[in-house]
Amino acid sequence: MADSMEKLVALCKRRGFAYLASEIYGGLANSYTYGPYGVELKNNIKQLWWKTFVHNRVDMVGIDGPILLHPKLWEASGHVGGFNDAMVDCKNCKKRYRADHLIEKATGKDLEGNLEEMSAELAKNEIKCPNCGKADWTEARFFNMMFKTEMNGLDGAIYLRPETAGAIFIEFKNVLDTNRVKIPFGIAQIGKAFRNEIVAGNFIFRLREFEQMEIEYFIDPEKAWEDIFEQWFNDQMSFFLKLGAKEESLRRYEHPKEKLSHYSRKTVDVEFLYPFGWGELCGLANRGDFDLTQHSDASGQKLEYFDATNNRRFVPHVIEPSFGLDRAILMTLLSAYTEEGEGEEQRVVMKFPKVVAPVKIAVFPLLRNKPELIAKAEEVFKQLNTRWHCEFDDNGNIGKRYRRQDEIGTPYCVTVDFDSLEDDSVTVRDRDTMEQSRIPISELVNYFTNNLV
Ligand code: GAP
């Protein structure tokens, strides 16, 4: 586990997991580009999520909705009126902060939502600006976090979606009409969401453009929901364990009743122990019938379910497991990061679970200036590359090549040496144990089929 964000950020840049975006223009507001290994890791996590929560279940289907959706959706959902954070500016250095975050850090008080109290608390405690040290603040005021843009043919503003969930609710009827889904069932979606966060930061923890993996799980309001809710919580936890989280770095945080959003009966977060402290990793909420009722009232369309077994028509309730993909990536990177060994033997190794490792196998010819070794190594590479994502590397000495693959988190390295030309075998080196075994080339596909699971 990485004990500092700096070490992880440096490795991500050095090895091509994530770069500061727009860097040649000086960077842009804490946004990041996933590099060649980062995008592989990201895609593997997405695929594992889809397999776990959609394909491996009989009660789930998926959709892929647009980022730009009808503005009325966000009025009905309450985002236009209430998706606000409280901000204050330092009068001295002009830096902007979340008022509730400053107060919570200084006093431990959670004053979300009350602007007057926040302003008073900042003054009373003489809370200092983290940037310049002065305690001279503007009044706290609300700021709507949705990004606005314009669309040809539409009067007024249109928003970049602040969560993926909206598209799921408004397609509820289409999914019912086109699929043989029966309650309880869920609709999943992975995609970008945008929030004009007052302060973004901590690498990919808080971004303004990020990706969510969300599920709306529709249930019968007359049946008990607590067990379904707990099962989803356990499934969320198991997913993070599959991504390599240690049990002790995950915990449950239940939102106190008095802090719940008006539509929520219960909200629980999975929190992760980041190097900067415990923070939200994903959420789970019972949203009741709030969303379907709101969209039904605002659109004039009935968003109901008909249960043919007992002739009942009703508006389903919804359990919402909501994952942030970038936070799942951050958690996976932090959990994989390992420093081990002493002196010459010291190494940094990313011990990713094999299923999400960006590269599964690296193939090395022992020397780059021996055409017969290169040809044999290429033959091995071609055999493996169509089944697993492989990398070919003939650059530098073998020790350095191992160190590079350790930092990328590649589970296996295959070296083709002079003996390979005689015995048609290669050396396979295991990332975690560093043990090396001699395996016949004809056995490699079998070997990796059994071991890359
Ligand atoms: N539909 C419910 C919803 O959006 P949320 O708690 O606001 O709930 C869900 O967001 C998840 O999305 C969070 O648990 C987090 O993983 C991720 N997330 C939210 N804001 C984010 C941000 N600014 N940067 C990165 N991830 C974010």
For residue 330 the two structure tokens come to 């951050």
27 vs 73: CA distance, rounded Å: 33
CA 77 to ligand 1 centroid distance, Å: 16
Helix axes 115-124, 99-107, angle to 10 degrees: 50
What does pTM read for this prediction?
0.96
pLDDT tens track, the chain, 453 positions: 878 899 999 999 999 999 999 999 999 989 999 999 999 999 999 999 999 999 999 999 999 999 999 999 999 999 999 999 999 999 999 999 999 999 999 999 988 788 999 999 999 999 999 999 999 999 999 999 999 999 999 999 999 999 999 999 999 999 999 999 999 999 999 999 999 999 999 999 999 999 999 999 999 999 999 999 999 999 999 999 999 999 999 999 999 998 888 889 999 999 999 999 999 999 999 999 999 999 999 999 999 999 999 999 999 999 999 999 999 999 999 999 999 999 888 999 999 999 999 999 999 999 999 999 999 999 999 999 999 999 999 999 999 999 999 999 999 999 999 999 999 999 999 999 999 999 999 999 999 999 998
326 lines ligand 1 (CB under 6 A): yes
CA 194 to ligand 1 centroid distance, Å: 10
Q: Which amino acid is at 254?
A: E
Token pair 């994530």 in the structure block, residue: 18
CA 323 to ligand 1 centroid distance, Å: 7
169 lines ligand 1 (CB under 6 A): no
Ligand 1 atom at minimum distance from 162 CA: 4
Whether 267 contacts 255, CB under 8 Å: yes
Whether 187 contacts 175, CB under 8 Å: yes
Ligand 1 atom at minimum distance from 200 CA: 23
Residue whose Cα lies nearest atom 7 of ligand 1: it is 163
CA 141 to ligand 1 centroid distance, Å: 22
Ligand 1 atom at minimum distance from 282 CA: 14
Query: What is the sign, positive or negative, of the torsion defined by CA atoms of 23, 27, 28, 30?
Result: positive
CA 214 to ligand 1 centroid distance, Å: 10
188 lines ligand 1 (CB under 6 A): no
